[in-house]
Copies of this chain bind each other. A is one copy, B any other.
Amino acid sequence: MINKLVKSDAEAVSDIFDGATVMIGGFGEAGSPIELIHRLIDRGAKDLTVVSNNTGSGNVGLAALIENRQVRKMICSFPRTAGSVVFPELYRAGEIELELVPQGTLAERIRAGGAGIPAFFTPSSVNTPLADGKETRDFNGQTYVMEYGIRADFSLVKCHTADRYGNLTYHRTARNFGPIMCTAAETTIVQAKHIVEPGAIDPEVVVTPGIFVNRVVHIADPAHESILVANQERYPS
C-alpha cells in the first residue's frame, strides 16, 4: 500500500543532511512551510544550499534557518523584503553566498530540473550583469542566454489539502513555487493543513500529482510568520 503520510514534522525532515540542496516553497510568507523549516533548525543540518524566492523575515522561519548559520548559499530572486534583516547582515559581512536569479528564470530552472531538461534558452537578463559569463545564442535575430535546470536533494513545501498518495491542492497565492519544487527534488516533503481520503480531491483539480511527493505531514494549524514577526518572536526562542 502507498502511504506517504508520516507521523511528525520532525520525522519528515529527519534525513536532511549536511551540504544538502534544499528547495523551500513560498513567496514571502505565503506558502512558506514554517513548521518544516523549524524542524530543520532543530535537526541542525548545516552547509545547506537553499533555493527559495526570498530570504525570510524577522527571526523565524527561513530567516531563522539562515540566522542559525545552517545556510552556506542562497539561490533566490529577491533576498531583501520588508522585515528581512538576517540575510542582509550576513551578506554584507561576507558570511553567506548569494546566487541572484531573475524570478522567471528561477521558476523555469526549477521546472526544467523536474522535467528532465538540463538547459534552456531565455531572453530574461540578456544584456545585464546577471548574464555575465553565461553562454548566449541568437534565435530568429534575438539574443537569449542559456540557463541550467536545478535539482535539489529535498523540497519543503506547504499545501492546503493532501491525500496519502501525495496528491495536493494549494490555497490562493500560496501555490507559487510549491508545484514546481515538488517535481525537482529527490525527496519532496510537504506539510498539509488538511488530510483527506484518496478520491476526496476531484481528479480534475489536483495541482500536484502524488508521483512528485514523497512525504506528507499534517500541520492543521500552521504558524503565521507575519504574526510571529510582529510579536518579535525568535526560533529557537
Interface residues of A (CB under 8 A from B): 108, 112, 115-123, 137, 139-140, 142, 144, 148, 169-172, 202-205
Q: Which residue of B lies closest to A171 (CB)?
A: B204
Cβ–Cβ < 8 Å partners of A142 in chain B:
118
Cβ–Cβ < 8 Å partners of A203 in chain B:
172
Contact (A123, B116) CB under 8 Å given A204-B205, A205-B204: yes
Q: How far is the CB of A193 from chain B (nearest CB, A)?
A: 14
Cβ–Cβ < 8 Å partners of A112 in chain B:
120
Q: How far is the CB of A96 from chain B (nearest CB, A)?
A: 27
Contact B116 A119 (CB under 8 A): no
Contact A139 B118 (CB under 8 A): yes
Among B122, B140, B170, B171, the residue within 8 A (CB) of A117 is B122
Cβ–Cβ < 8 Å partners of A205 in chain B:
202, 204-205
Cβ–Cβ < 8 Å partners of A202 in chain B:
205
Q: Which residue of B lies closest to A202 (CB)?
A: B205
Q: How far is the CB of A143 from chain B (nearest CB, A)?
A: 10
Cβ–Cβ < 8 Å partners of A117 in chain B:
108, 120-122
Cβ–Cβ < 8 Å partners of A171 in chain B:
204
Among B108, B121, B148, the residue within 8 A (CB) of A119 is B121
Q: Which residue of B lies closest to A205 (CB)?
A: B205
Cβ–Cβ < 8 Å partners of A119 in chain B:
120-121, 137, 139, 144
Cβ–Cβ < 8 Å partners of A118 in chain B:
121, 139-140, 142, 144
- In the bound assembly, the distance between CA atoms of A135 and B203 in angstroms comes to 39
If A108-B117, A116-B122 are given as contacts, then 8 extra A-B residue pairs at C-beta distance below 8 Å, sorted by A number, are A112-B120, A116-B123, A117-B120, A117-B122, A118-B139, A118-B140, A169-B204, A171-B204
- In the bound assembly, the distance between CA atoms of A23 and B108 in angstroms comes to 24
Cβ–Cβ < 8 Å partners of A139 in chain B:
118-119, 148
Cβ–Cβ < 8 Å partners of A140 in chain B:
118
- In the bound assembly, the distance between CA atoms of A122 and B112 in angstroms comes to 10
Cβ–Cβ < 8 Å partners of A169 in chain B:
204
